[in-house]
C-alpha cells in the first residue's frame, strides 16, 4: 500500500459503512446510524481533499467515490422512506434522478464520446440539501437534546427544497447533455 492509495481506502470504508448504517436505520437505532452517517459524510470530504491536495487522484478513486456517495444516499433514502420518515415520492424522485443521470452518462459515453465529469452548481446544492435532510431526519429520530428544536415545518421546508433541487438538477443534466449530444452528432455529420 502506498500513501496515494489512502483516498481509495477511505472510499472503500464509506462503502463498507453503508450496510451497518442501513441496518441501524431499519431497526430504528438512530444514534449509531447518525454517527455512521456523519463519519461516512466526513470521509467523503476527506478523501476528496487528500486526492486533490496531494494529487492522489486515480481512475479507481474516480469510480469508488461516486459509488460510495450514491450507495450511501440511496440506501438511506430507501430506509427512511420504508420507515415512513420521508415521503415515498421523494425517495422515488431522488432515485429516479440518479438512474436517469447514470443511464444518460453511460449511453452518452457509448454512443457519443467520453463523458467529462463536471458537476453543475445546482447538483452540488442538491447534494448538500439531500445530506442535510438525511442528517436532520436521523437526528430527530435520536431523541437527543435539541431535537425538540427541530420543528415539523423545518423538516417540511427541507423536504420541499430537496424536491425542487432534485427536479432542477435532473432537468439541467438532461437538457445540457441532450444539447451537447445533438451538437456533437451534428458536427460529426457535417
Q: What is the rounded distance in angstroms from the CA atom of residue 84 to the CA atom of residue 129?
A: 19
> Which stretch of 16-25, 40-49, 73-82, 164-173 has the lowest confidence by average pLDDT?
40-49
- Give the domain ranges of the chain: 3-189
pLDDT tens-digit series, residues 126-160: 999 999 999 999 999 999 988 889 999 999 999 99
Q: Helix axis angle, 152-189 relative to 121-142, nearest 10°?
A: 150
- Homologous superfamily (CATH) of 3-189 is CDP-alcohol phosphotransferase transmembrane (TM) domain (1.20.120.1760)
Asked whether the predicted pLDDT for residue 121 surpasses 80, the reply is yes
What is d(CA 52, CA 7) in angstroms, rounded to the nearest whole number? 10
Query: Which pTM does this prediction carry?
Result: 0.91
Q: Inform me whether the pLDDT recorded for 51 exceeds 80.
A: yes
Tens-place pLDDT, residues 156-187: 999 999 999 999 999 999 999 889 889 988 98
What distance in Å separates the CA atoms of residue 47 and residue 162, rounded to the nearest whole number? 25
Amino acid at each position: 500500500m502506498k500513501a496515494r492509495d489512502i483516498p481509495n481506502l477511505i472510499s472503500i470504508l464509506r462503502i463498507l459503512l453503508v450496510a451497518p448504517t442501513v441496518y441501524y436505520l431499519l431497526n430504528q437505532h438512530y444514534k449509531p446510524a447518525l454517527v455512521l452517517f456523519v463519519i461516512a459524510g466526513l470521509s467523503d470530504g476527506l478523501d476528496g481533499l487528500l486526492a486533490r491536495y496531494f494529487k492522489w487522484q486515480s481512475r479507481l478513486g474516480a469510480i469508488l467515490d461516486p459509488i460510495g456517495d450514491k450507495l450511501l444516499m440511496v440506501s438511506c433514502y430507501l430506509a427512511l422512506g420504508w420507515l415512513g420518515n420521508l415521503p415515498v415520492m421523494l425517495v422515488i424522485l431522488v432515485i429516479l434522478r440518479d438512474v436517469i443521470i447514470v443511464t444518460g452518462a453511460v449511453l452518452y459515453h457509448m454512443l457519443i464520446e467520453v463523458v467529462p465529469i463536471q458537476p453543475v452548481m445546482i447538483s452540488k446544492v442538491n447534494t448538500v440539501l439531500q445530506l442535510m435532510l438525511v442528517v436532520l431526519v436521523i437526528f430527530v429520530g435520536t431523541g437527543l437534546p435539541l431535537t425538540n428544536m427541530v420543528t415539523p415545518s423545518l423538516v417540511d421546508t427541507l423536504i420541499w427544497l430537496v424536491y425542487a433541487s432534485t427536479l432542477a438538477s435532473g432537468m439541467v443534466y438532461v437538457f445540457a447533455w441532450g444539447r451537447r449530444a445533438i451538437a456533437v452528432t451534428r458536427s460529426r455529420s457535417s
